[in-house]
Every structure is written in C-alpha cells, then in structure tokens.
Amino acid sequence: MKKGEKMIEPFKIRTLPSCELTAKKNAKTWMISDMHFGHGNIIRFCNRPFNNTREMHDAIINCWNKTVGKEDLVIILGDVAYPGASADVTNYWLSRLNGKKFLIIGNHDSYGFINGCEAVIRHAAILKYDDEEILLSHHPGTIERDTKQWCIHGHIHNIGYLIDHERKNMNVSVEKINYTPISLKELLKMRTKKKQVLYLTGDYKPKSEE
C-alpha cells in the first residue's frame, strides 16, 4: 500500500448521508457490487461458477462491456478488487470497464487516489429517482434509515435475496445479478412485484445448481 493510501475504518452505524446522486428516467443507469477482481478465494467462498480468476475476470468484464455503454452511468456499491488492493490496482480494473462510474467505497477498497470514477463516495449516498430517495451503501446495516426507505447494497454476496421486501433491501452483488450490471429501471420494476427474489437466472449459475 502506497503512502497516503488507507483502508476505510471498520463499519459503524451512521446517520443518513448528505451526499446525493440523481438518476434521470431517460438515462441509462446500472448497478453492481462486489466484483472482487483478483481475489481467487472468492470463487470458493461464494460458490462462483468459475474454475479460476481468469475465467471470472473474463466473464465479468465481457458481461459488463456488452451491457454498459461508454456514456452510461454505473453505480458500484463497493469492493472492486481483492482485499487490500491498492488504488492503482483498482484503477486498472476500472479502466477496463465501460461507463461513467460512481463508487461507494466498500470494506475492501482503498480510498486514496482512485481516479477511474466520476466520484468516489466514502460511506453512503442518497439516490434520487423520480419521487423516491433510495439509500446507497456497501453494507445494508451500517446507515440509519427510515423503516420505509429502501437500500441498494452489496457486501453480503450470495446470502439472502436480490429483492428483500421484508428488510427493504436490494442486493446487487454480482452473484445475485448473473455477474452483469443490472439497470436501475429493471431493479425497481422487479421490486413492484411484491415478491422476494432470490437472484437473476442466466448463464452463470452457482456451482451447486449446475
């Protein structure tokens, strides 16, 4: 880790953030979290359907760049690369991905010198969409919020639901969204069905289901 870089402090419960992002209905906005580039053990930890990191990298990058245009907005809910990765490593992976990227720092991200994003946000933000204010946070349980407010997050990987109506959480960890950025419109449309959604089906099923 280079001088001036630091990992963010351990998670704490915090008040609602003052940072705000606005997503327009006619803009293409994508959500994703927890790619963990370069982290070999994540394949085993989270039952990812890849034999090695090279397969994992190729799948995530190809899915991303086939889906996201260069001028689209992408909100990353943390953990771009492996635990302890330097900002240079994070910038390398971000440079290979399309879109104008906004990063909510995760517990494995370095905070310093990340220049591959339009903005780097340390703890959380409020996403304004239509008449709703949605909480954006890497970890779903670290920010105080109204019981009626929804949160888009990552961190818990393949645990729980993609759409959790009981907790009002939307988990966009890659394991839940077929390793492909999911559009904000699609995510919110899925929420309107009032059903718990485990994960999106697609080419990349957990190994236990192959």
- 113 occurs within a structural domain: yes
135 Cβ contact list (under 8 Å, min separation 6)? 16, 17, 124, 125, 126, 127, 143, 145, 149, 150, 151, 152
What six digits make up the tokens of 6? 């630091």
Which CATH number belongs to the domain containing residue 119 in this structure? 3.60.21.10
- 42 occurs within a structural domain: yes
- 1 occurs within a structural domain: no
**Structure confidence by residue, pLDDT tens digits, 91-121:** 999 999 999 999 999 988 876 667 889 989 9
- 4 occurs within a structural domain: no
- 54 occurs within a structural domain: yes
The answer to which of 50-54, 108-112, 141-145 has the lowest mean pLDDT is 108-112
- 162 occurs within a structural domain: yes
100 Cβ contact list (under 8 Å, min separation 6)? 71, 72, 73, 74, 118
Task: Please give the residue range of the domain that contains residue 132.
Answer: 27-209
Which amino acid is it at 90? T
- 81 occurs within a structural domain: yes
pLDDT at 6: 32
Mean pLDDT (the chain, rounded): 86
What's the predicted TM-score (pTM) here?
0.86
- 22 occurs within a structural domain: no
pLDDT at 145: 87
